[in-house]
Structure formats: structure tokens, C-alpha cells
């Protein structure tokens, strides 16, 4: 699998990442083992997790599999901290919480460092400079090799990245930002992606298959074994089952038929090759699903297909983003 530099850093990662959101909850250990082995054998390196995935079980599971199945040195392990289950508070970006969470992640993963550590989300109750100090300390102590953020909007990303660049040599450059991005969710193109491109921050798209909808599996109903049929994941899928999504999925399916490939391959190739994207994170539930996603490696979409998909999925971006002088 092709390797790409993560943002403006020397870190190289596979251009498809493996997500572990369902590990330890919907994905059992034997299925996770099959996925990790298939991913590794295909040349995949970037494995993404978080301290809250499965209540910590995803990290435990990944740690066990690295110990006995895939060499730790062959993987770029990424995890996140900052999401919390406290009543009335979803995020905690305080230095104390973040560093304690990192130590707990390292313990569950069975490693002395992660290759990439993300702040899971913006915390409006904590000064940004305190949150970013946690990144600096993590990297300076060797517990994290590189650092990034997740779910920061455009001005938040720009503020954080600029702060980190203000004192080079003493602060850690942001390597990446992880955001949802697909043909069904192109909101990052408004401000996040331009900021990331300008600041040299690599984009790691989550849900690149539109929460599974872009595979076409929901065109004629909700399969019983799908996330849409899962009690705790159905609300995650439901927003992408509207008429707008249907038109986009139909266009993806038409393109796939014309290219003799699958809708999954078309949707994944589209986001993988967007400017500024380093590696989409694929959250498969089974090895079969992952193998189907990894088959996209040989596919590059023709320009006319890309333009057609761009048109059918184009978000409404007007003032002040485009053509402000004519409004």
C-alpha cells in the first residue's frame, strides 16, 4: 500500500487507516485479529483508536493483538483522549486529565509510546494553551511521537496550529486533524481543509463511507446485520438516509457500474485522493468488509467521474467563502 507523509512532518502512514471504533463491543477478538492481520499483510500501517472506544476495550484488544499477532514496530498507532462520560460534560481538555488518560492508554495498549496522539475534541472550559501543553509534554517525554487534534472546526484548528508554530523548537507542530469527511459530509471543505492545507496539517477523514451508507447497503432497506439496525448505532446512521443522500448514493452506484467496481471503492477512492487528505480511516466490522475496502488501492477515479460526483454532492458554500464580491 502506498505510504504518505502526515501533513508537514516526516511521519509516513499508509494511505488507508484501520479504525477500531467497534472493537471490544460489536467486533469480537477473532474478527479484530483477522482484520489487523489482513490490514498488515496489505501494507497497512495506520491503526486508529481512542480511550473511549468500547470503554477502553478497543485499546486493550489492540494491545493484545500487537503482542502476539502483528509486530508493534510495523504499525503507526494513533489514539485519542479528551472525551469523558461525566454527566453534563462531554469533553475534558485539561492537562491533568489528558496526561492521565494517555498513561492509561499506554497501559492498555501495552506499549511505552503511541506514534500519534489526538485531542479528541475542543473543550471550551479549558484554556487552549493548557490543552496544547499536554501535547508538548507528551511528545517531550517520549510518550507520543506526533500529536494532532480531532473534531476542531476551522478557527479552532487554525488557532491551535498557529499557537504551536509561534515558538518553534519548544512546541509540538500539529501533524494531523481527524474529521468526518465523505461524499455525504463535505463540511470540512468550508474552513477546516483550507486551514489544514495552509498550515501543513494532514487530514485523516473518519467515516469516509458516509457511516456505511455510501456502500449502497441501505438503498432497499436496513440490513439486519448493519449498523443501522444496531440499537446504539442506528442514530449515527439515520441522518444519512434522507433524500439528498439517496441522490448521492445513486450517483456513486452509477459510477461504480460504469467502472465495473463497487460503490464502496468509488466512495473511498474519491475521499482518499482529495487535496489535503492523508489517509481515510475505515471502520470495518469484519475482515471481509475490510478486504473490500483495501481493494481500492488499485483504483484511481477518472477526472470526469470525480467532477460528476463533486457536482452531485456539492455543499452550499456562499458568503463569505466564495464569490463574495458578486453577492
R_g over Cα of the chain: 19
With vertex at residue 205, the alpha carbon angle to CA 254 and CA 116, rounded to the nearest 5 degrees, is 150
What's the CA dihedral at 84, 173, 276, 35 to 10 degrees?
A: -50
d(CA 175, CA 153): 16
Residue 74 makes CB contacts below 8 A (sequence gap 6+) with 40, 45
Residue 200 placed within a domain = yes
Number of neighbours of residue 243 by Cβ within 10 angstroms: 6
Residue 324: per-residue pLDDT? 53
Residue 321 placed within a domain = no
Q: For residue 140, is pLDDT > 90?
A: yes
Cβ–Cβ under 8 Å, residues 36 and 70:
yes
Cβ–Cβ under 8 Å, residues 118 and 178:
yes
Q: For residue 214, is pLDDT > 80?
A: yes
Residue 110 placed within a domain = yes
Number of neighbours of residue 297 by Cβ within 10 angstroms: 19
Average pLDDT of span 34-50? 97
Secondary structure letter of residue 298 according to DSSP: G
State the pLDDT confidence band at 267, using cuts at 50, 70 and 90.
very high
Owning domain of residue 188: 3-212+274-299
Residue 88 placed within a domain = yes
Residue 325 placed within a domain = no
3-state secondary structure 120-183: CCCCCCCCHHHHHHHHHHHHHCCCEEEEEEECCCHHHHHHHHHHHHCCECCECCEEEEEEECEC
Residue 326 placed within a domain = no
CATH code at position 74: 3.20.20.100
In percent, the amount of the chain with pLDDT more than 70 equals 94
Average pLDDT of span 30-58? 97
Question: Count of domains in the chain?
Answer: 1
Tell me what percent of the chain is helix, strand and coil, each rounded to the nearest 5. 45, 15, 40
Q: Dump pLDDT digits (tens) for 25-35.
A: 889 999 999 99
Q: Dump pLDDT digits (tens) for 54-98.
A: 999 999 999 999 999 999 999 999 999 999 988 888 999 999 999
Q: For residue 327, is pLDDT > 50?
A: no
d(CA 6, CA 52): 24
User: Is 319 labeled as catalytic in the residue annotation?
Assistant: no
In percent, the amount of the chain with pLDDT more than 90 equals 82
The mean pLDDT of the chain is 93
Residue 128 placed within a domain = yes
Average pLDDT of span 230-255? 87
* Assigned C-alpha cell, 194: 483550507
Q: Dump pLDDT digits (tens) for 185-208.
A: 999 999 999 999 999 999 999 999
Q: Which of 53, 60, 146, 240 is catalytic?
A: 53
Residue 256 placed within a domain = no
Q: For residue 262, is pLDDT > 50?
A: yes
Q: Where is pLDDT greater, at 296 or 87?
A: 296
Amino acid at each position: 500500500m502506498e505510504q504518505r507523509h502526515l501533513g508537514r512532518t516526516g511521519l509516513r502512514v499508509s494511505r488507508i487507516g484501520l479504525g477500531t471504533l467497534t472493537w471490544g463491543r460489536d467486533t469480537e477478538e477473532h474478527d479484530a485479529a483477522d482484520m489487523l492481520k489482513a490490514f498488515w499483510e496489505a501494507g497497512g500501517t495506520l491503526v486508529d483508536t481512542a480511550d473511549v472506544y468500547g470503554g477502553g476495550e478497543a485499546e486493550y484488544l489492540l494491545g493484545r493483538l500487537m503482542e502476539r499477532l502483528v509486530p508493534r514496530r510495523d504499525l503507526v498507532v494513533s489514539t485519542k483522549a479528551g472525551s469523558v462520560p461525566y454527566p453534563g460534560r462531554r469533553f475534558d481538555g485539561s492537562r491533568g486529565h489528558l496526561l492521565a488518560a494517555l498513561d492509561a492508554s499506554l497501559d492498555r495498549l501495552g506499549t511505552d509510546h503511541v506514534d500519534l496522539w489526538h485531542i479528541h475534541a475542543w473543550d471550551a472550559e479549558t484554556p487552549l494553551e493548557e490543552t496544547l501543553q499536554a501535547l508538548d509534554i507528551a511528545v517531550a517525554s517520549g510518550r507520543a511521537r506526533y500529536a494532532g487534534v480531532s473534531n476542531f472546526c476551522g478557527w479552532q484548528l487554525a488557532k491551535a496550529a498557529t499557537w504551536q508554530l509561534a515558538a518553534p523548537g519548544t512546541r509540538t507542530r500539529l501533524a494531523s486533524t481527524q474529521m468526518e469527511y465523505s461524499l455525504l459530509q463535505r463540511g470540512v471543505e468550508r474552513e477546516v481543509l483550507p486551514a489544514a492545507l495552509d498550515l501543513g496539517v494532514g487530514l485523516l477523514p473518519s467515516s469516509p463511507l458516509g457511516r456505511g451508507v455510501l456502500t449502497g447497503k441501505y438503498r432497499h432497506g436496513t440490513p439486519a446485520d448493519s449498523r443501522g439496525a444496531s440499537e446504539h448505532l442506528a442514530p449515527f446512521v439515520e441522518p444519512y438516509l434522507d433524500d439528498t443522500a439517496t441522490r448521492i448514493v445513486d450517483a456513486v452506484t452509477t459510477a461504480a457500474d460504469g467502472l465495473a467496481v463497487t460503490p464502496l471503492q468509488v466512495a473511498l477512492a474519491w475521499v482518499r485522493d482529495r487535496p489535503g487528505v492523508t489517509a481515510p480511516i475505515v471502520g470495518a466490522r469484519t475482515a471481509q468488509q475490510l478486504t473490500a475496502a483495501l481493494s481500492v488501492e488499485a483504483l484511481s477515479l477518472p477526472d470526469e467521474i470525480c467532477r460528476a460526483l463533486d457536482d452531485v454532492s456539492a455543499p452550499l458554500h456562499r458568503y463569505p467563502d466564495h464569490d463574495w464580491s458578486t453577492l
